[in-house]
Structure 1
Amino acid sequence: AINDNLGHDQGDSLLRRMGNTLNQLIENTQYSASRIGGDEFVVLLPAADEAALNHCIESLHELLMVDNQFNNHQPISVSIGTATSQPNERVEDILKRADTAMYEHKKTYYAQNDRRVSKYNPANDQ
């Protein structure tokens, strides 16, 4: 949607900002981050427990908050899906579970956002 509405240069700029944020997140860790397509990224946290996962998510939100303060004309928001590996589970299945969780998070976000928009409509003020 960004590319369609604001152009590819703006879309590329947002992808670079997100990439830089993820690089800061994984700096000095055994974690890795990659863009897997479009505006989707994956962060792998080998041997991380739930506390480490939650800390990583908090850190990501903090890094984005700082980035958005400097780039408030085009803030970045994220929908996050997580999954931990089960014994003998294929990587593809782990990613699919994380992807499903991310889409549920995104669906909830847009449902709440749409609700807020529908409560206030400037056209009703006229």
Structure 2
Amino acid sequence: MKRILVIAIPLLLLTGCMHLNDPRPKHYKAPVTTVANKVCVIVQPEADEQIVTIRINEIGNDNNTLEKYGLAVIASAERCVTDFGYAFTAGKAYNFMVILESPEKKKRGVQPSARIYGASFSLWRLNGKLQATPLY
């Protein structure tokens, strides 16, 4: 019994430390609203972070997806993230994902060098104006 405990306790302690220095990007919730009848998703870039990926998809319809990779778009906390003219439709639900990456962190080998912002929302018309409602 003691032998089992001597082996089991260090194993349990080691498995609890697997998330230290995790290289996976952190996920953040992005606020979503509408401005001038258009969807507006805002991110909070840090330092030199740039938008490198944008993915928009209609929930439940994999054929209605827009994916842009390899971008180097300047991110701003004061401007809506571009949607590249994606055709949003009232009465449907969407996911909007933005990956921000720091070229300086990537160059220095700092992990994670990216952060992911996401918004899940449905669109409705209220008094003729487009409205976004977060799903969670």
Q: How high is the TM-score relative to the length of structure 2?
A: 0.28
Q: Which has the higher contact order (CA 8 A, sep 6+)?
A: 2
Task: Give the number of the structure whose alpha-carbon radius of gyration is greater.
Answer: 2
By percentage of residues, which structure has more strand? 2
Q: How high is the TM-score relative to the length of structure 1?
A: 0.30
By percentage of residues, which structure has more helix? 1
